[in-house]
Structure 1
């Protein structure tokens, strides 16, 4: 570290500003020109490293070749007393990373900064320079909201004739000595912001920066990176093979056009991506203009109208026509935005029982299950869990297996704060069937979206349900990209057999209330009717496990795993994580759960299961992080509180464990497992009276006659 006040060349050191792996930055005064500058020094331990020195010099040469208001200006490359330094523009403000972490960005800010960044990239690319490490930490936002791209430490000049350079050819690009270029196969950079081709170590062109910029734009709009994971391997897998969660899923206020821009930037095939930064800048500018004017699409060819002046009468008609078009545009904007706001990421929808007027009992319960499976493919739509429906029915004084009619459903929605209901019906139309799905506002009964399809025969009914469900998802605000990505036909996502699906539906009802002996023959019947029914085997694995029949459990889990591609994406991830975890392949189980989290970020199950695994492994910080997220997503989930408490205890934060349990008790989540934890915390705090009270309460709960004696014997 350099001492304050010393002079290096003609710069006096004033203070250290920061530092990273490739440089330490100081604020300094240029004694010749009397201005404040930033001096970046290569760390002393790296000055003897030829590769590090090469990269440091490359940054200076690359950036100094550029003169743009949105790129940090390089004043000088120097060496003094054996120390290499770069003198650059001193900036006041914060990095984009810091800005995103502190507050949600307004749309106006996202667009304004996005336009500036794309303009800077276009300038660099026009000089044949690829940055290769575009990320929020390398973008500075000044106090005047001016974006500045920093750190060209990974930059290289394009040499290949097929590189995309905007409006110039590779032959006109400046080049560096070949020895200064990172060799093919290198994956230097920040993993979460890499392009797929960079992650694979392929030759790069300017489109790699556009992908990275897409990741940055996604994060600016949602405060989340599109490809997440606890390890580089998980991030790489998502980056190479998976589509990100649609941005509107994380921020419902994002305009459709911005989502389209982001998705085009994030195309894994660079031939389908934007081909130049100028194209991105133009689209962002167009969106900014339309947003400011209240329009989402430009009016047709107003420029052509100005090319000649029509007669006055025709001009008046043209003015009226344009006014009408403008009003239609505004109305379409209003309705488009309204339809996008029909369901937000925090809203749930309750699926009610179908109205069946066909007199065929095979549809009873079966189509409700089919709709749930179909919609659960969506990362956008949150189906209210069937288990919670049964709990609410009991609180209403009804039996858990009561039919959920429209009236009963409305009361459930009011009690549980559910925004919408999905009502369905099936009716005969001659030899055909008519399937109707309608989402209604639970508060006032207004229709939010309605779809109706026909099936030529009974065998086509499940396809008709799927067709209606896919259309409904779009009407409720899910992006077309997301619908197309997670849109397996029901015959592939579950089973083509109505009878097998009915058996599964009846079995699930028994399984969810713990009646495993009644569920078992129904699940077996489902596999007999459809030997390729993956979820039926997965459920059999769980039931046999609960009944203590380990060998049969493993056989059915294995069968489900082999058939996992014959399930929806949601159920496939469920099957994979259970198979790996139950067979003690924990690393693969964690990877599957991380993919589950990324694909379905509003589902609490993967967070809960990860928390349990990390608690068992003694990784209590990771357990706490996942368990807290599970509680945030599902505040009434008992297992979330149990996992948070276990993590706190593992970290020896007993008071916080007690506070967590108190919150669970306030929510009336008093089950034996929870009360055992209450007793554990009380024992740790030498509160014998509270411990005994918890154990007495736990003894009265279902299963308490086993768990409480086990607890007492453990203390003995």
Structure 2
């Protein structure tokens, strides 16, 4: 058959014949052309003919490109890629001959509402599998979207339109980008015109997945610029009701930094294969969820775990009658008149004991008059022998016991356990120091004894203020099971503290019943206490891997191994450790999804790599399990802050600070937040309150000195120096010396500034600020060789930090400043623009960027940034330190 005579751009109608095809009807249309259903008269089969708009192939080179792409795709033989039969031409019109599938498009399926989880995951696997095959042949789709995903009647995925966006010209592609089409599924690097690879397809899978499971696009906007802006800047809207394992996959696909996405589709397929579809189907999804399950999920994700039904039963309080009955030994209910005779006598005797014997007073007061808030510090455990191996176990026991006591049921919120890291950082080893530095009301002082298979834990519970012993505990095990002895000790301690629910078994979530494995775990904890020391991280990892080999179901060991790998990555910047950390944490969660520490590690890892959206999800999950976990709450706050949601960030920082009025560390985080956003008086006031609860804390004094400096008020310089000197008297730190160097630079005491900088660098040579202060001091002293050496060191540090986390604004600003100081304009500008884009109101970033533009002779840009900062109330006092800034600052001041 020959084609009917046709003119212009009109298309065949039903009943027409085109070459060897009988037109049956119209299937659909889009930015890439119109699709008709037809019968192949030669082979007697139904096919689809896609007619491409003639603007896509204005010349022979365009036709050749399309033909080349068609040949490449037709060579692929994969069940999830649409079969291409050929590329033909009739009357000047090109059309692609494809297999016909009668299940519609994924876009049509989504239009009917969210896709159930089980079916959706199967569809995602099909999409990723098809793209993996294409990527293996160096073919990138570039236009993955629901309308380019066809379905068979059996719900098999068939991807279409491979190569079209590459084969047609850029001008033609721009004309095809509509709000409902291509642009909405483009990755940030595509929208900005940067080079692309297979990861743009992985981004598009993430957008498609979010749309499948929620029914709406994860980035909102009414216009093309609005959608593009949202894609490049906003956090994607992913339903909190989706399983967290699925949320993680989608967030990873939608990382704005390509390096943080899945590198290849095989990695995505690996994670999709690990999803338990039976669990998804059991829990249902989307619109099929019940109102109760929705409420529970919402409570979990917002951290209101106490509202979830599954938690209420364990939060019931004992009434005083049951306590007295237990004290009297009564087990059977008796008539009222007889029931109270023995307890009444007991009450009288106990009250008399309170008056006569002072030691148990605190305990009895808690028994009758309700628990008072208790602040507990677990001090380092003593080793009763001389065995070095037992000493390692004793050191690790401090951390493990702290975590166990934190897990006691505290529905009345009367118990606050000071983190072991805070105890160690304050060098607290005795009750007096615990009370003075940490405001602990109670301390746990323990000893570990090990003789052959016999292990014993002895604990003294001491009133830190009066130094009176409240009670003593001994827990032992004759089979060498230290974990069992520890459980027994914590259970007894809970009863002694009169903590609600402590009479029940202590939850050992994720622990081990294999004694050698638990011993190795405690040894690893001891090494992790000083992970900054050479080889300690490797020793901890070795112990944890051996523990897991002894007990493959040891969830806590997997969780701690994930944390060790995270620290390894932070130290070496080797991406290998990211994957190791993720794999270890995922294994821990598979064994036990109720471990808050695992989610905190995951959140911290994603924060370290700049994936704040996924980090927030992990921290929220930790808070859902433990709504008094300060690390998780502060992690949430930091994620909100990085996303620019400052009101939410402040609320979470305040929430962490309110957990325990005597814990200086959380209040310090709130003060640092205020300082970062130019609220210096608030920062100073918060730090003074923290000092009132921890008066001998060197870190607080060095921060206080820094906040006085940041305020830019010369009248506060003497207060700053007093605070910094106090800090150094309590303990030398690079931060205190660095702030002192900054103070001396402001006061033009350059020799002292150089000396303070050198002392700071000697303590920690990885801090860029210390090198910057040294560089400035050497410059003013006329020691140019030293100044240049300091600048070189700044460059290497900034490059390493930017490579590790390209979304960290401060690192980008430092690298841009260094390049500007070296006169490398072309290298400086991209980093300066990135820094301002990521954190337009951050004082450190603004100071660096303004100095850089001024050095690059872009004084107008620098001046505009200064004015903008002034309008926002951001302090820029440190600009005075740069000698090149003086003319511009004088001009601004004059006007």
TM-score (norm 1): 0.48
**With CA pairs under 8 Å and 6+ residues apart, which has the higher RCO, 1 or 2?**
1
